[in-house]
Copies of this chain bind each other. A is one copy, B any other.
Amino acid sequence: MGVELYTYFRSSAAYRVRIALNLKRLSYGPRFIHLAKGEQHRPDYRAINPQKLVPALVDRGTVLTQSLAIIEYLNDTYPEPPLLPRRRDERAYVRALAQIIACDIHPLNNLRVLRYLEHTMGQDEAARIAWIRHWIREGFEAFEAQLERHELSGRFCFGDMPTLADICLVPQVFSARRFGCDLSDFPKIRAIDENCQTLAAFRDAAPEQQPDAE
Protein backbone atom coordinates (compact mmCIF):
# COMPACT_ATOMS: atom_id res chain seq x y z
CA MET A 1 0.00 0.00 0.00
CA GLY A 2 2.50 2.56 1.12
CA VAL A 3 0.07 5.13 2.52
CA GLU A 4 1.62 7.41 5.13
CA LEU A 5 -0.43 9.72 7.32
CA TYR A 6 1.08 12.68 9.15
CA THR A 7 -1.13 12.89 12.19
CA TYR A 8 -1.56 14.20 15.74
CA PHE A 9 -3.85 12.31 18.08
CA ARG A 10 -5.92 15.35 19.09
CA SER A 11 -6.24 17.03 15.67
CA SER A 12 -9.86 16.93 14.46
CA ALA A 13 -8.76 17.09 10.84
CA ALA A 14 -6.35 14.14 11.25
CA TYR A 15 -9.07 12.24 13.14
CA ARG A 16 -11.37 12.65 10.10
CA VAL A 17 -8.79 11.12 7.76
CA ARG A 18 -8.12 8.26 10.20
CA ILE A 19 -11.85 7.42 10.14
CA ALA A 20 -11.94 7.55 6.33
CA LEU A 21 -8.90 5.28 6.02
CA ASN A 22 -10.50 2.81 8.45
CA LEU A 23 -13.84 2.85 6.61
CA LYS A 24 -11.95 2.11 3.38
CA ARG A 25 -9.99 -0.65 5.21
CA LEU A 26 -6.70 0.90 4.14
CA SER A 27 -3.73 0.32 6.37
CA TYR A 28 -1.30 3.19 6.75
CA GLY A 29 1.92 4.12 8.42
CA PRO A 30 1.38 6.94 10.92
CA ARG A 31 3.96 9.70 11.19
CA PHE A 32 3.46 11.68 14.37
CA ILE A 33 3.67 15.47 14.33
CA HIS A 34 3.33 16.83 17.86
CA LEU A 35 1.43 20.10 17.33
CA ALA A 36 1.60 21.26 20.94
CA LYS A 37 5.41 20.92 20.82
CA GLY A 38 5.51 22.81 17.50
CA GLU A 39 6.83 19.97 15.34
CA GLN A 40 4.70 21.22 12.43
CA HIS A 41 7.15 24.14 12.11
CA ARG A 42 10.16 21.90 11.48
CA PRO A 43 11.70 22.33 8.01
CA ASP A 44 11.26 18.62 7.17
CA TYR A 45 7.52 18.85 7.82
CA ARG A 46 7.16 22.20 6.05
CA ALA A 47 8.65 20.46 3.02
CA ILE A 48 5.67 18.07 3.20
CA ASN A 49 3.01 20.67 4.06
CA PRO A 50 3.90 24.35 3.79
CA GLN A 51 0.68 25.16 5.62
CA LYS A 52 2.22 23.65 8.80
CA LEU A 53 -1.01 21.85 9.66
CA VAL A 54 -1.90 18.18 9.95
CA PRO A 55 -2.97 15.96 8.35
CA ALA A 56 -0.91 15.29 5.24
CA LEU A 57 -1.19 12.00 3.40
CA VAL A 58 1.38 10.45 1.08
CA ASP A 59 0.01 7.86 -1.35
CA ARG A 60 2.62 6.29 -3.63
CA GLY A 61 4.73 9.43 -3.62
CA THR A 62 1.88 11.93 -4.04
CA VAL A 63 1.60 14.36 -1.14
CA LEU A 64 -1.94 15.42 -0.31
CA THR A 65 -3.07 18.07 2.15
CA GLN A 66 -6.38 19.43 3.54
CA SER A 67 -8.54 16.75 5.16
CA LEU A 68 -11.61 17.12 2.92
CA ALA A 69 -9.51 17.03 -0.25
CA ILE A 70 -7.70 13.94 1.08
CA ILE A 71 -10.98 12.17 1.85
CA GLU A 72 -12.44 12.99 -1.59
CA TYR A 73 -9.22 11.62 -3.11
CA LEU A 74 -9.49 8.41 -1.09
CA ASN A 75 -13.11 8.09 -2.15
CA ASP A 76 -12.20 8.62 -5.83
CA THR A 77 -9.28 6.18 -5.64
CA TYR A 78 -10.76 3.43 -3.46
CA PRO A 79 -14.49 3.55 -4.28
CA GLU A 80 -15.77 0.95 -1.78
CA PRO A 81 -17.49 1.62 0.49
CA PRO A 82 -18.58 4.99 -0.94
CA LEU A 83 -18.34 7.97 1.42
CA LEU A 84 -20.71 10.13 -0.64
CA PRO A 85 -24.20 9.35 -1.99
CA ARG A 86 -24.72 8.71 -5.70
CA ARG A 87 -27.31 11.43 -6.37
CA ARG A 88 -25.94 14.89 -7.01
CA ASP A 89 -28.34 16.71 -4.69
CA GLU A 90 -27.67 14.19 -1.93
CA ARG A 91 -23.94 14.55 -2.41
CA ALA A 92 -24.36 18.32 -2.08
CA TYR A 93 -26.33 17.82 1.14
CA VAL A 94 -23.59 15.62 2.64
CA ARG A 95 -20.81 17.94 1.54
CA ALA A 96 -22.64 20.98 2.95
CA LEU A 97 -23.01 19.25 6.34
CA ALA A 98 -19.30 18.41 6.30
CA GLN A 99 -18.47 22.02 5.45
CA ILE A 100 -20.54 23.44 8.31
CA ILE A 101 -17.97 21.74 10.50
CA ALA A 102 -14.85 21.89 8.36
CA CYS A 103 -15.28 25.53 7.29
CA ASP A 104 -17.41 27.22 9.92
CA ILE A 105 -16.62 25.54 13.26
CA HIS A 106 -13.28 23.80 13.32
CA PRO A 107 -10.97 26.47 11.79
CA LEU A 108 -12.11 28.96 14.42
CA ASN A 109 -11.16 26.68 17.29
CA ASN A 110 -7.89 25.13 16.28
CA LEU A 111 -4.62 25.54 18.12
CA ARG A 112 -3.12 28.36 16.07
CA VAL A 113 -6.25 30.51 16.50
CA LEU A 114 -6.51 29.88 20.24
CA ARG A 115 -2.85 30.87 20.55
CA TYR A 116 -3.47 34.11 18.68
CA LEU A 117 -6.42 34.92 20.95
CA GLU A 118 -4.22 34.29 23.99
CA HIS A 119 -0.88 35.77 23.02
CA THR A 120 -1.82 38.58 20.62
CA MET A 121 -5.26 39.56 21.90
CA GLY A 122 -4.67 38.81 25.59
CA GLN A 123 -7.82 36.74 25.99
CA ASP A 124 -7.83 34.60 29.14
CA GLU A 125 -8.82 30.96 29.31
CA ALA A 126 -12.47 31.68 30.18
CA ALA A 127 -12.81 33.95 27.15
CA ARG A 128 -11.20 31.35 24.91
CA ILE A 129 -13.50 28.59 26.16
CA ALA A 130 -16.53 30.86 25.63
CA TRP A 131 -15.33 31.50 22.06
CA ILE A 132 -14.93 27.77 21.35
CA ARG A 133 -18.37 26.96 22.76
CA HIS A 134 -20.00 29.83 20.86
CA TRP A 135 -18.86 28.61 17.43
CA ILE A 136 -19.65 24.99 18.18
CA ARG A 137 -23.17 25.97 19.29
CA GLU A 138 -23.74 28.16 16.20
CA GLY A 139 -22.58 25.39 13.90
CA PHE A 140 -24.39 22.59 15.66
CA GLU A 141 -27.67 24.56 15.61
CA ALA A 142 -27.41 24.77 11.82
CA PHE A 143 -26.28 21.15 11.53
CA GLU A 144 -29.19 19.87 13.66
CA ALA A 145 -31.65 22.07 11.71
CA GLN A 146 -30.38 20.65 8.41
CA LEU A 147 -30.76 17.08 9.70
CA GLU A 148 -34.34 17.86 10.74
CA ARG A 149 -35.30 19.59 7.56
CA HIS A 150 -33.94 17.23 4.96
CA GLU A 151 -35.30 14.04 6.46
CA LEU A 152 -32.41 12.17 4.86
CA SER A 153 -30.80 11.09 8.10
CA GLY A 154 -31.20 7.63 9.57
CA ARG A 155 -28.63 5.87 11.72
CA PHE A 156 -26.16 8.31 10.18
CA CYS A 157 -26.37 11.81 8.66
CA PHE A 158 -27.39 10.26 5.34
CA GLY A 159 -29.58 7.21 5.84
CA ASP A 160 -27.80 4.15 7.11
CA MET A 161 -24.53 4.77 5.30
CA PRO A 162 -21.58 6.49 6.99
CA THR A 163 -20.46 9.43 4.86
CA LEU A 164 -18.15 12.42 4.83
CA ALA A 165 -20.68 14.21 7.07
CA ASP A 166 -20.34 11.64 9.87
CA ILE A 167 -16.58 11.64 9.39
CA CYS A 168 -16.57 15.37 10.18
CA LEU A 169 -19.25 15.22 12.88
CA VAL A 170 -17.69 12.65 15.22
CA PRO A 171 -14.39 14.50 15.77
CA GLN A 172 -16.32 17.74 16.31
CA VAL A 173 -18.54 16.09 18.94
CA PHE A 174 -15.37 14.78 20.62
CA SER A 175 -14.00 18.32 20.69
CA ALA A 176 -17.32 19.73 21.95
CA ARG A 177 -17.26 17.32 24.92
CA ARG A 178 -13.63 18.11 25.63
CA PHE A 179 -14.54 21.79 25.96
CA GLY A 180 -17.64 21.13 28.06
CA CYS A 181 -20.27 22.15 25.51
CA ASP A 182 -23.87 21.46 26.45
CA LEU A 183 -25.22 19.15 23.73
CA SER A 184 -28.73 18.73 25.15
CA ASP A 185 -30.29 20.77 22.33
CA PHE A 186 -28.85 18.47 19.68
CA PRO A 187 -30.56 15.07 19.98
CA LYS A 188 -29.99 14.06 16.37
CA ILE A 189 -26.30 14.89 16.53
CA ARG A 190 -25.93 12.89 19.74
CA ALA A 191 -27.80 9.88 18.33
CA ILE A 192 -25.69 9.83 15.16
CA ASP A 193 -22.49 10.13 17.17
CA GLU A 194 -23.59 7.16 19.29
CA ASN A 195 -24.37 5.10 16.20
CA CYS A 196 -20.98 5.92 14.71
CA GLN A 197 -19.31 4.73 17.93
CA THR A 198 -20.74 1.24 17.29
CA LEU A 199 -18.40 0.97 14.27
CA ALA A 200 -14.77 0.00 14.83
CA ALA A 201 -13.72 2.35 12.00
CA PHE A 202 -14.79 5.31 14.14
CA ARG A 203 -13.71 3.92 17.52
CA ASP A 204 -10.23 2.95 16.35
CA ALA A 205 -9.65 6.45 14.98
CA ALA A 206 -10.37 8.16 18.31
CA PRO A 207 -7.63 10.31 19.86
CA GLU A 208 -7.22 8.11 22.94
CA GLN A 209 -6.59 5.04 20.73
CA GLN A 210 -3.62 6.58 18.96
CA PRO A 211 -0.02 5.58 19.71
CA ASP A 212 0.88 9.25 20.24
CA ALA A 213 -1.97 9.88 22.74
CA GLU A 214 -0.92 11.38 26.03
Contact = CB atoms under 8 A, between A and B. Distances in A.
Interface of A: 50-53, 62, 64-66, 68-70, 72-73, 76-77, 88-89, 91-93, 95-96, 98-100, 102-104, 106-108, 112-113, 116-117, 120-121, 123, 127, 130-131, 134, 138-139, 141-142, 145-146, 149
Contacts of A70: 92, 96
Given A66-B100, A116-B131, A123-B121, A72 B91 contact: yes
A142 B50 CA distance: 5
B145 A100 contact: no
A contact patch SS: helix
B100 A51 contact: yes
Contact of A127 (B106, B121, B131): B121
A68 B50 CA distance: 23
Count identical subunits in the complex.
2
B50 A141 contact: yes
Contacts of A62: 89, 92
A69 B50 contact: no
Contact of A104 (B53, B73, B89, B149): B53
Given A65-B96, A120-B131, A121-B127, 11 more contacts: A50-B149, A51-B100, A65-B146, A66-B100, A69-B92, A69-B93, A70-B92, A104-B107, A108-B113, A112-B138, A121-B123
A186 B77 CA distance: 33
A142 B47 CA distance: 11
In the A-B complex, list the 9 residue pairs whose CB atoms are closest, starting with the nearest: A50-B145, A51-B142, A69-B95, A66-B96, A73-B92, A66-B99, A69-B96, A76-B88, A62-B89
